Amino acid sequence: MFSKLESFWCRPPVYWLLILLLAAATPLTFAPYYHFWLMPLLFAAFIRLLELRPDVRTRSAYLFGLVAYTVQFYWIHTALHNISGLPNLYALPLTMLLPAYLALFPATTVWLWNRIRLNRWLHTGLALPVFWTLAEFARERLLTGFGWGALGYSQIADHAPLAGFAPLGGIHLVTFATALLGAWLVLLVDNKGRLKKRLALACAVAALLFGGHIAKQTDFTQPTGQTATVALAQGNIEQHLKFRNDQVLPTLDRYFRQIADTHADIVILPETAFPVMLQELPDNIIAEFAEQARQNGSALAVGTMQYTADGMNYQNAVVNLTDYRIGAANIPFYAKNHLVPFGEYKPLPSLTAPLYQMMDMPLSDILHGGEAQKPFPMKNQQVAFNICYEDGFGDDLIASAKQSTLLANASNLAWYGDSNAMFQHLQQSQARALELGRYMARATNTGATAIVDNKGRIVAMAPTNTATVLKEEIQGYQGETPYMRLGGSLPFIGLLSVFAAVFLAVGLKRNR
């Protein structure tokens, strides 16, 4: 019966339709839906289809990636067309450009996997998860990287046992565990071997899930005993108004009123809350913000653009105004280091300059802030900041996190309207909180403004696309997770690379 069903699946119209449907369903596994249980099943079905049609495996993987990344990242079109005003003649093909590039990674993975010959238990049960994880790592690193949509992020959810691997080895270990689970489900269901093999595989699946669950319950970092109330201002400034000259004062007034009405230990304003260069703001305005926060007993951090010390470049920064006084020469700041290609700098300026002239994107070619910047001392916490896109790169945050008791992200996702982008970004913050064993405070312009605890759970979230202030008590944490002690993903990725080299050496030799 099962073989007849698979023969039906192999028919080209059915086969390609199944590939499309599996890929189209992948957004349901990520935020805001959080159907984490669905990803291993989708991945298992995808693997089985690849096994059934070895003649079209690479094409199948490319189509799967193209469709999956297109439906996951549809909000690129929102930023290009709806917000930036780029005509659809350009916006539609540019929207497809990123998925078309990202799909090369699963296609390359499957091409390599198809080239080697191993017994099925090694080929499907181990080699494919190893290759897939290495490809996801490469996708996160090449050309500054884009790791959104990795299998592991689908497991960053409240009741997902595999999320427990995040503090052990980071998001790539979670990706590997998810790929293993999908591959082992294939072998468990479609296995003509003896009962002992099925039982062994069932035990392996149970051990994987149980191991993740135990790790998730384990406390790798410790409370400092110091709690603080954190207030996150959400200005809800529409992107097309954000940098208009006639909107500067209304924007400043909105944020000032939010600060004035808020009594908290720590107050954080989102990315570019000050919509002009910091040095172009009169000292008395900056001082009014700082003084109002002091009167309320608050330490204050604000997102802003600023010129570098030589005045020749500028940075995307968060400034600590807690101790600011008029005439202060140096304001403590954190400057964004991991920049967005084509958004904050132009990798190919000669080719892309005409497109920037068509779009309302005034900020580009921003200077890197540098690695391992120190946390801000704010009340009884040491707050390690990152800005927007940086929250997708856990390895980059380790050095600052080691010195911190609280993590904070300042973002402006108004570029993507009321899309899933803000929730996918929130899920990355959940992953970082798990990896680094600390609370994460997210101050955003339009959403998702939230407080995430050290276990990756959302403990409070503001309504999106609303001007509001989210206030919540947090607990400071100290210590290091195993992932932090390892220094990031590289040791685990190095181990997988050794396995991959062995599989290639043995598998290619057998293929000759």
Which residue numbers are catalytic?
Answer: 271, 336, 388
How far are the Cα atoms of 63, 277, 330 from residue 280, in angstroms, in the given order? Answer: 49, 5, 15
Determine contact, residues 352/383, Cβ cutoff 8 Å: no
Instruction: Tell me the β-bridge partners of 233.
Output: 469
- The burial class, CB within 10 Å (0-12 / 13-18 / 19+), for 80 is buried
User: Is residue 505 reached through a cis peptide bond, with omega within 30 degrees of 0 on the bond before it?
Assistant: no
Instruction: Tell me the β-bridge partners of 317.
Output: 304, 335
How far are the Cα atoms of 119, 273, 333, 459 from residue 455, in angstroms, in the given order? Answer: 39, 29, 28, 10
Q: Which structure tokens are listed for 217?
A: 């319950």
Q: If you search the block for the tokens 């704010």, which residue do you land on?
A: 378
Put residue 428 in one of left, alpha, beta given phi > 0 → left and psi -120 to 50 → alpha: alpha
| Whole-number Å distance between alpha carbons of 164 and 156 | 9
| Whole-number Å distance between alpha carbons of 269 and 278 | 14
> On the CB side of 323, how many CA atoms lie within 13 Å of its CA?
10
Q: Which of 41, 53, 44 shows the shortest CA–CA distance to 8? A: 53
Q: Backbone phi, then psi, for 224, in 5-degree steps?
A: -80, -15
How far are the Cα atoms of 275, 371, 416, 445, 447 from residue 306, in angstroms, in the given order? Answer: 10, 18, 24, 18, 24
* Alpha helices (H) along 316-408: 349-358, 394-402
Q: Which of 472, 470, 460, 400 shows the shortest CA–CA distance to 432? A: 400
End-to-end CA distance of the chain: 36
Q: Which residues neighbour 139 within 8 Å (Cβ) at sequence distance 6 or greater?
A: 102, 105, 145, 146, 147, 150
What three-state secondary structure class fits 31? coil
Determine contact, residues 164/431, Cβ cutoff 8 Å: no
